[in-house]
Every structure is written in structure tokens, then in C-alpha cells.
Structure 1
């Protein structure tokens, strides 16, 4: 009987070791902003994001403006203001809005693409060295069997989300 217990000691030791490892091991993973918002920054303003593209989708500018405001309010501690003295002043405009052909099969268009370009203007009133302007582009492909107006209803929300995410990342992260 003693020999049976002695043979099981390595197995028992291994089980105890594994229990200790799993009980005390922890894995922490988090997304930390590479450039946290400075404590002195308290307010932001999103100016109406105009549509200056040759082709104008009337819903695009309001969707971009409101989506960006919501994202900043929901994710940061900053307070929205409409005053000229906002610490972060965000403006810009839709610079491009056009469909293009992506794929041709059997001498006919099979896939089209909706392209949207946005010009972002960011001003940090507390630290003007952080001011910048950048162009952002997004696109979504759609079947050539759909008209542009049919495709817009499903594509525009996805493109807006992509543009808003990129604007947010350009302002609040080092991406």
C-alpha cells in the first residue's frame, strides 16, 4: 500500500502545482489609450460636418455629425459645448462621394463601390501644436444589380461608422 501511495505522489504533486498555477495566475488585457486625454481638456465641439462633394447625399452630413458627437460623449469624459472656447474643436467636410465600378464579368459590371472621402480639421485650443488636418476615405462594395439609392441605405451607415471610428482614433489615440 505504501508503494502505491509513493507511486501516486508525482501525480498528486503535479495536480497541486497545476491548481496553484491556475488559482494564482491572472491574465490582464486591456486597451489603454496611447495618448490619454490631458486633465485640462474638458470640453469639445463638433461643428456641423458639411457635404462639399460633387454628389450630395442629404443624410450623410447629419449622420456623421451626430454619430461623432455620440461616440465622444459615450467614450470620453469630455463635455459637449457649442461655444467657441471648446478645448477640442472638430470640423470638416465630406470631400468625395461617388460610385465606381470594381468588377466586370462577361462585359457587364458585376460589382460597384460607394466611395466617401472626408477632410478632418482638428484644433486643440489649449495646445495648438496638436492641431492637424487629415483626409479619411472609406468605401463599401455592392452588387451592380442594385441602384445607388438602393445600396446607399445599407452602405452609408457602415461607412459612417468607419469614418467616425477613424476620426475618433486620429483625435484620441496614436493610430
Structure 2
């Protein structure tokens, strides 16, 4: 009985070791934070994201610009500069900020949806083939009993996080 118990422990150890090796190899092949910045890229400029939407939330442009700058500063090795000589030049504008009804109950609006779109213009001064323009859109539902101002106050942290993450991923991830 002692030998069979020892054999089971040994086999279990081999299985666990094999699983750990596989997990390590898998994690080396795929990462959830696949930030891709060529080594020759050292600097970035993030221009102010103007608001060109029909309805203007005066807090969104400065807060979104600042959130994007903070994320790039904290999660990349790039140095943020204000010069036209930046290796990466990131610009854009808020192109849509609108509210629609998203749910109806008893012939009345039960929920509304705030639609926010940002048009991003990315320039890679070291490799112009990597330049692109893209639209990032996110929708945020809120209770129709709230005013837009109340909903904006409640939703602003999510709006900033989601849009910043989406813009960052579009620029720096290889998907």
C-alpha cells in the first residue's frame, strides 16, 4: 500500500508539472496585454481631442484627453512630448454624443442610451504605412427617469475608461 501511494504521488506530481509547463508555454505564446511598440519609437504626442458633436459635454474633451495621456504614460515606455517631432502623433475628435431611447415599458421610455463616438487619427512618423484613422464608438445605457446631466455624472467614469481602453487598444495592440 505504501508503494502504490508513493506511485500515485509521483504520477500526480508528473501531471502537475506537465500542466505547469504547458501553462507557462501557453502564456509565453499569448498575452492579454499585447502592446506592440517598435524599439525605435520613443516619443508620442497626444493632441487635445476636440468636441465636434452636435451636443457638447464640456467635461468630456479635457477629461478624455487627460485619461488617454495618463494611460499611455503609465502603460508604455513612451515619453509624452508636445513637439511636432513625436514618433507617434495621436489626434482626434468626439464626433457623436447623442441620446436615444433604448427600452420602452408601458408605452414610455424605460431606458435611454448615450452614444459616444471618437474619431482617432494616428500617425507613425517612423513608418507611414502604419498611419490610420478609425472611429471608436461606445454605448452607455441609463434609466430614463434620470436627466441627461444626472446620467452623465453617473456614467462619466465608465465613459472615460471604456473609450480610453478602446483607443489605447486600437493604437497599441496587435489583434
**Normalized against structure 1, the TM-score is what?**
0.90
Number of residues of Structure 1 aligned to a counterpart in Structure 2: 169
In the other structure, the counterpart of 2:55 is: 55
For residues 85-104 of structure 1, what are the structure 2 equivalents within 5 Å?
A: 85-104=85-104
Q: Contact 2:138–2:163 (CA<8 Å) still a contact in 1?
A: yes
- Structure with bigger gyration radius: 1
Superposed displacement of residue 25, structure 1:
5.2
Return 5+ residue gaps in structure 2 as ranges. none
- Rounded to whole Å, the distance in 2 between the matches of 1:104 and 1:79 is 48
Deviation track 1:45-93 (CA, whole Å, cap 9, x = no partner) reads: 0000000100000000011100000000111000000000100000000
Kindly indicate whether residue 38 of structure 2 is the aligned counterpart of residue 44 of structure 1.
no
- Rounded to whole Å, the distance in 2 between the matches of 1:66 and 1:25 is 43
- Rounded to whole Å, the distance in 2 between the matches of 1:15 and 1:39 is 47
CA RMSD of aligned residues (A): 1.7
Residue of 15, 18, 22 corresponding to 2:9 = 15
- Rounded to whole Å, the distance in 2 between the matches of 1:24 and 1:144 is 54
Superposed displacement of residue 139, structure 1:
1.1
Superposed displacement of residue 160, structure 1:
1.8
Return 5+ residue gaps in structure 1 as ranges. 1-6
